Amino acid sequence: MHDPADLTTPTPPPATAAPVLLRAAGLACGYGAGAVLTGVELTLRAGDRVAVLGPNGGGKTTLFRTLLGELEPVSGTLERQARCAVVPQTERSRLDFPVSALDVALMGAVSRLPWWRRPGKADRRLARAALGQVGLAEHADRTFGDLSGGQRQRVLVARALVQDAPIVLLDEPFTGLDAVSADRLEQLLLQLADEGRGLLIATHDVEQARRWGTVLCLNKRQIAYGHADVLTRSVLEATYGGEIVDIDCAVHGHHDVVLPAHHHEH
């Protein structure tokens, strides 16, 4: 069994010279007076790619909504030095509107403009350029709902690029993608981080989290934050409860892979 005392001390990743985009200290998040997530200690810097791990109901969405400014912190401090954009999930049920990929990317301009200005020609150029950056220039005029899951995710990344936000929050962007689309999206996220953005990416894939280097584990409170080395068995148990399994996995080159037993299906 793990010693819970080991888990309460945050393990910050090594400090770098990159500018701080966001800093949370003793942050508690929730809806009204009651906190559903406590003890968040987080410093996000330009170039960081942070995997956010946690069970269903662990507090990932609540944290993202707080970082976006949709929810007031229940307590603690949150300093945002830069604009935040979100890349939401794209369930089929929300795809009934006959909008094109370009329309969706262009929506990113709305949050930057004063309320009285509509997106103009320059914004449309920016939206087309952003679709080009995510490899979808050819698909600008296609109906968003007709695109594949991976293409829709990339359109939503393009929308975040149009928002010109240094901080990008991604809510399980890999859910439902085939291996090729997932690879392509992962390369794109790497590129966004290399360009100096800070990314927080909610995922249920522990192996992917290990590759990205920095992890934030949440289960109603912050369990760990730091280099992927913090993903010990005891941290995973505290994050996912008892619901983890050992997999003898030669594919990954080692034999002690630990994964949550129940992935989140949308």
Ligand X SMILES: Nc1ncnc2c1ncn2[C@@H]1O[C@H](COP(=O)(O)OP(=O)(O)OP(=O)(O)O)[C@@H](O)[C@H]1O
Binding mask 10-49 for ligand X (x = CB under 6 A): ---------------------x----x-------------
Do the beta carbons of residue 244 and residue 260 sit within 8 Å?
yes
Q: Which amino acid is at 261?
A: A
Site string for ligand X, 198-227 (x = CB under 6 A): ------------------------------
Rounded Cα distance between 162 and 101, Å, is: 13
Q: Which of residues 59 and 119 has its CB atom nearest to ligand X in the complex?
A: 59
Q: In angstroms, give the least distance from the CB of 142 to ligand X.
A: 29
User: Of these, 23, 83, 184, 264, which contacts ligand X (CB under 6 A)?
Assistant: 264
**Minimum distance of ligand X from residue 166's CB (angstroms):** 23
DSSP class of residue 150 equals H
We find the least distance from the C-beta atom of residue 27 to ligand X, in angstroms, to be 14
Cβ at position 125, least distance to ligand X in Å: 36
| Closest CB 33 distance from ligand X, rounded Å | 11
- What backbone torsions phi and psi does residue 185 show, to the nearest 5 degrees? -65, -40
| Minimal distance, residue 155 CB to ligand X, in Å | 22
Instruction: Pick the closer one to ligand X by CB: 63 or 131.
Output: 63
Among 8, 16, 56, 191, binds ligand X (CB under 6 A): 56
Task: Give the tokens for residue 7.
Answer: 């888990």
Phi, psi for residue 51 in degrees, rounded to 5? -85, 130
Q: What is the DSSP string of 9-77?
A: S--PPPP-SSPEEEEEEEEEEEETTEEEEEEEEEEEETT-EEEEE--TTSSHHHHHHHHTTSS--SEEE
Q: Which is nearer to ligand X, 70 or 229 (CB)?
A: 70
Contact 208, 51 (CB under 8 A): yes
- In sequence order, the 6+-apart residues with CB closer than 8 A to the CB of 11 are 224, 225, 226, 227, 230
**Interaction with ligand X in 58-87: which residues (CB under 6 A)?**
58-62
User: Which helix (H) or strand (E) covers residue 238, if one does?
Assistant: helix 233-240
Contact flag: residue 54 with ligand X (CB under 6 A):
yes
Judged by beta carbon, residue 123 or residue 171, the one nearer ligand X is: 171
Does 197 interact with ligand X (rule: CB under 6 A)? Answer: no
Please classify residue 82 by burial: count the beta carbons closer than 10 Å to its beta carbon, then call 0-12 exposed, 13-18 middle and 19+ buried: middle
Binding span for ligand X by CB under 6 A among 10-18, 55-63, 99-107, 139-147: 55-63
What does 113-148 look like in DSSP terms, one character per residue? S-TT----HHHHHHHHHHHHHTT-GGGTTSBGGGS-
Question: What's the min distance (Å) between Cβ of 57 and ligand X?
Answer: 4
Residues that bind ligand X (CB under 6 A): 31, 36, 54, 56-62, 264
